[in-house]
Amino acid sequence: MAYLNPNTNGDAVYTARVILNIDPYAVDVKSAIFIKNPKEVKSNTVHVYPNPAKETVTVAFDHPISNEGVVEIWGVMGNKLISTIIPKDYTEQKVNVNSLKSGMYFYVIKISNDRYSSGKLIILNK
């Protein structure tokens, strides 16, 4: 089994793991699955779609959020490109991504400044 050391595989690997809140040392060696921080498990599920996206991305929750939130979109080099507020009690927020070039990005959703969800986002613009 091959194991990537997060400290020696370049800035992109390290940055992606920081953005996605993955502890690079919490690895299940038998299956090589990264274990995320258990505090991220919430009863209110978030859906980010469409992915891949062109003009807008929708962030939707199963239930209204109890506090104000924010959607951040980050480049692979660790630069924050977009930050959109999600008002309290909303179940859905659209994020305009048509200014981004085609490529891979990361999204981070925070509620009350706590990381709630994160993942990859593919943009297919011209």
Domain residue ranges of the chain, discontinuous segments joined by +: 40-123
What is the Cα Rg of the chain in Å?
15
The pair of structure tokens assigned to 28 is: 């299940």
In angstroms, the CA 122 to CA 88 distance is 27
**Which residues have a Cβ under 8 Å from the Cβ of 115 and sit 6 or more positions away?**
21, 37, 40, 108, 109
Task: Please list the residues that pair with 74 across neighbouring strands.
Answer: 80, 106
Name the nearest CA neighbour of 49 among 122, 102, 110.
Answer: 122
Which tokens go with 23? 């502890």
Q: Which CATH class is domain 40-123?
A: mainly beta
Whether the pLDDT of residue 77 is over 50: the answer is yes
Q: Where is pLDDT greater, at 97 or 23?
A: 97
The string of pLDDT tens digits covering residues 12-66 is: 665 666 666 665 554 443 334 444 454 444 467 899 999 999 999 999 999 999 8
Q: Does residue 91 have a pLDDT over 90?
A: yes
